[in-house]
Each structure stands twice: as C-alpha cells, then as structure tokens.
Amino acid sequence: MAIAMVMTDVSTSEERAQLTARLAAARAARGRADARLTGAIDDFFIPRDARLDDRLRSAVSRLLAGLVGAIETELRRHASRVLQGKGEHQRADMLLGGHAEVETRLSRAGLLRDRRLMDELIARARGDLMAQGLGATATTGDRASLLVRLADDADGVVASAAGALLVAETRRRSGNETGQPLGSDLPAELHHQLVWWVAATIRETITARSGDDAQIDRAIVEAAQRNLAAHDESARPEAVAGRLAFALDPRPHELAPLLVEALGDRQLTLFVALLGRALDIDFDAVRAIVLEPEGDRLWLALRAANLDRTTIATVALALAEADPRRDLEAFADELDAIMAVPPEAARSALAPLTLHHDLRLAIDALAREARR
C-alpha cells in the first residue's frame, strides 16, 4: 500500500521505472543479506575438525574453477566450430563471446554440493598439498628418484607404467600451477556429470538472450559428446599408479622400502596405490585412510600389511611433517600398542573396506540416513 502511494506521486514514466528498479534492488539486497546471515550461521557451527583451512579452501576453489573453465572453453570452441562449418557465423560468435560465470551458476543451483564430486576434489587438493609438504624421508644418496629408476626397469610392463605415471603427474602438476588443467582429470562418472552440467549452463546463457535455438542445441550436444568420447579415465595419475603397483606386485619384504621411498620422492599417489595393492583395497578407500589426520585406520592398514616398527614410524614422521593436523607425540605414545596388534586382527578390522566401491557407498548412504 505504501509503495502504491509513493508510485502515484511519481510524475513521469521514467521516474516510475527508476523507482521500481530501486525498490526491486532493495528487495534483492534484503534477500542477499538474509542468505549471508544463513551462511554465516552455518559456518559458525561447523566443527573445527570439519572446517577447511584457508590453504585447502583456496586449493579446492582453484581446482574446481580450473576444471569447470577447461570444460566450458572446450565445449564453446567445438560448438562454435560446428556452427562455423555450417555457415552459422553469428551463432558461432554468440557461443565464443558469451562466457558466463558457469561455476557461480552451478553453485547457485546447488549442483556443486554433490557429495562424490566434492569428496574427489577435496581429497585431490589435500593430497596435492600433502605431497608438496613431504620431505626426503628415504635415504637414497645419489640415486635417481624411484619413478625415474622404475621407468628404466628391465621389466617392460613396470617401465611403461612408471613412465606413464611420470607423464601423468607432470601434467597434473602443471595444470595445478597454471590453473589451466588439460581436461577434467576426473573419474569417468564425475566427468560425465560435470560436462552435461556445464553444457546446460552454456545453453541457458544463450537462450536467455536469444531464446531457444535448435542449431545451437545440436552444436552444444555434439561438443559435449566429443568431450566425453575423448576422456580417458585410465590416464589419471590414480589409475596409472594402480597399474604400476599391480606391475610391481611387491613381495612382503619389498613393500616397506617401496612405501618409504615413495614418500621420500613425494609420490603420495604411488604410496596409496602400493598400500592398496598390498591390502586388496581400492585406491579411493586407501587415500581416505592416508589423508585422515587421526591416523587410527592408517596404523591398522600398515599393521595389516605386516610392516615393521621402523617403517611405520618413518611413515608417521613423513606424514606428520606434511600435515600439521597430525599429532606425532600422540603417535609415539601409541606405537607400542600399534605394534601389539596382530596383522590378522588388523586385516579383519579393515575387511569392510575390501567390499566393492559402489556397495560401500550405498552402505555409507544408508548409515548417514540412519543418523539423521
């Protein structure tokens, strides 16, 4: 009623339009303020051990922006090329010149809250930061790094896998440093999901300006399908490290020096793959264990692999140097108790992790629902 009275006092249509815009902006500002308060309250009550520190938050943000940006750029370029080939130059220019805040739009829609996607991104970012923080724990002298030596191994399968891991790790590290990853470097299911989300966002920005356009739709779909066809999940460092661990297939007496040297070379991915191979547990589950700051499950895993006291202590020291969340003094106090755990008992405790990956996810989902 008050707004209507104000509007009647405005003489020209231009002034009425300006007032309407101001009132709309005020309502939007109130909504944003309410949303900020909700977010601030949620953030305040996040437990300390669940909160991302600034360094990790920044790393995840860069990783997500890089992945979304790489997919968006490729889809726009190829869709534009398809339209150029059909003589649709104006439509092609719309696609190339219409870059939008795709990540912001996906976040606003709630799509980036996907549990599996964020689990992968946070684990990758945390693993990258931990690998950077690893010191030279292995006594290698003047020898070349472990991967370089393995790339020259007489066993062609080992040499091929080690060379591929060197290439994959270099490519990922370069993408992290420049903020421009080559491809999405995600597991196939997550990559498929993210490509179609980005495609839908690109389409939304186009149709918002010019309405539905079947030719642009077809070009975007073709670009997305081309991207998906080119995605090679087996080239990810995690997959390559798994192949190398399988090729090495270390005997019990060979495992300990390989694990220590992998950490000394800052090859956390290979460390995870070797431990997973020894325990017959998939990469994602072992990576989660290694990244946990408490270390309780990691010590069980190392005992399940029947590793000796010196090796377990060396691993603990290396990870504590790389991750300030870890309590090395508490570990020292518990070392005798850890070594008292029989390997068979440790393997039995970790048995649920040997279940199929998708079955474990379903079990975890049921458990979360029961806790609500």
Structure tokens at 267: 């090859």
Are 95 and 78 in contact, with CB atoms under 8 Å apart?
Answer: no
Structure tokens at 312: 């377990």
For the ranges 21-35, 237-251, 259-273, which has the lowest average pLDDT?
Answer: 21-35
Task: Compute the average pLDDT of residues 245-254.
Answer: 94
Residue position matching structure tokens 């950077």 = 132
Q: What is the DSSP string of 235-250?
A: GSHHHHHHHHHHHH--
Which tops the pLDDT comparison, 33 or 205? 205
- Give residue-wise pLDDT tens across range 150-159: 999 999 999 9
Q: Considering the entire predicted model, what is its pTM?
A: 0.86
What is the dihedral sign for C-alpha 43, 44, 46, 47? positive
Residue 370 pLDDT grade (very low, low, confident, very high; cuts 50, 70, 90): confident
Task: Compute the average pLDDT of residues 355-370.
Answer: 87
The span from the CA of 200 to the CA of 214, in Å, is 14
Structure tokens at 100: 């939008």
What pLDDT is recorded for position 11? Answer: 56
What pLDDT is recorded for position 6? Answer: 47
Q: Give the DSSP letter of residue 137.
A: -
Residue 286: is its pLDDT beyond 80? yes
Structure tokens at 136: 């030279």
Are 226 and 80 in contact, with CB atoms under 8 Å apart?
Answer: no
Residue 1 pLDDT grade (very low, low, confident, very high; cuts 50, 70, 90): very low
Q: Which helix (H) or strand (E) holds 117?
A: helix 115-133
Q: Give the DSSP letter of residue 48.
A: G
Upper half-sphere CA count for residue 261 (Cβ side, 13 Å): 16
What pLDDT is recorded for position 136? Answer: 54
The span from the CA of 203 to the CA of 195, in Å, is 12
Residue 87: is its pLDDT beyond 60? yes
The span from the CA of 32 to the CA of 322, in Å, is 39
Write b or e for each residue in 101-125: b if 16 or more Cβ atoms lie within 10 A of its Cβ, otherwise e.
ebbebbeeeeebebeebeebbbbbb
Are 147 and 263 in contact, with CB atoms under 8 Å apart?
Answer: no
What pLDDT is recorded for position 142? Answer: 60
The span from the CA of 99 to the CA of 307, in Å, is 53
Structure tokens at 247: 């090729």
**What's the mean per-residue pLDDT of the chain?**
89
- Give residue-wise pLDDT tens across range 302-327: 999 999 999 999 999 999 999 989 99
Instruction: Please give the radius of gyration of the chain, using alpha carbons only, rounded to the nearest integer.
Output: 26
Residue 3: is its pLDDT beyond 50? no
